[in-house]
Structures are given as structure tokens and as C-alpha cells.
């Protein structure tokens, strides 16, 4: 596997794992305390996945994983489907910013960590999307 493909796949997996690790405990606790809240959290996560697929112009996670495995970047996938690659960057920055905001509110990161992550977020996401 070439370095570009490995970078894109690792970045995607990291983003997915960060999203899951930051919400995993809240899903479990929400399910125990308020089942309707847990369903809302799960629906919100599914909605985020759907937003990415829609912005890429594809219909399934399998298509996404296959394309990434075959060496395409998220920008390549979007371009193949006549979509704007910058929209992918904007979407992922918005989603990751929301996660950072939540982590700051939950005090799982400091203000300094928040500011550092936020300052480099757009550049990191753009490099991932375009496979740089």
C-alpha cells in the first residue's frame, strides 16, 4: 500500500475513532438514563455519516471504504461524482469543531488544547481530504 493511501485511510479511521471515543460513553449513559436521548444521539451520528456520503456524492460506506482502499482521496471521490472537494473540508471541519466544543464543555480538554487543535484543524483536514 502506498504512503498516500495509508495516510488517507489512517486519517479517516482516526477521525472516526475520535468521534466514537468522544461519544461512546455518552451513548451508553444516555441509553441507561433516557432511551429517547440515546436514540437521538445515534441518529445524529448516522446523520453525520449520511452528510459525508451525500457531500461525496456516494450512497454507502462500502463505496467510501473501497474507494479509499483503492488509493482515492476524499477529494478524488468527490470530483469523480461531480461534487466540490472544499465542501468535504468544510463539513469535516464543522463536525470536528463540534466535537472539540463538546470536549471543551465537558472539560476533557483545556482551553489551550482546544485553541491549539482548532488553530490547525482546517489545515489538517485539508491535507487529509486532498491526500497531501
**pLDDT tens track for 60-89:** 889 888 898 999 999 999 999 899 999 999
Mean pLDDT in residue range 29-58: 58
**Residues 6 or more apart whose Cβ sits within 8 Å of residue 52:** 64, 88, 91, 92
Instruction: Report the C-alpha dihedral over residues 106, 107, 111, 113, rounded to 10 degrees.
Output: -100
The model carries a pTM of 0.62
Amino acid at each position: 500500500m502506498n504512503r498516500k493511501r495509508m495516510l488517507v485511510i489512517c486519517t479517516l479511521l482516526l477521525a472516526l475513532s475520535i468521534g466514537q471515543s468522544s461519544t461512546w460513553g455518552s451513548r451508553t449513559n444516555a441509553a441507561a438514563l433516557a432511551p429517547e436521548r440515546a436514540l437521538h444521539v445515534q441518529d445524529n451520528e448516522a446523520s453525520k455519516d449520511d452528510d459525508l456520503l451525500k457531500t461525496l456524492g456516494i450512497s454507502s460506506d462500502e463505496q467510501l471504504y473501497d474507494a479509499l482502499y483503492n488509493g482515492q482521496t476524499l477529494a478524488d471521490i468527490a470530483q469523480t461524482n461531480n461534487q466540490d472537494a472544499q465542501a468535504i473540508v468544510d463539513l469535516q471541519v464543522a463536525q470536528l469543531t463540534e466535537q472539540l466544543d463538546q470536549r471543551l464543555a465537558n472539560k476533557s480538554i483545556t482551553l489551550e488544547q482546544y485553541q491549539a487543535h482548532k488553530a490547525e484543524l482546517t489545515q489538517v483536514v485539508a491535507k487529509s481530504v486532498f491526500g497531501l
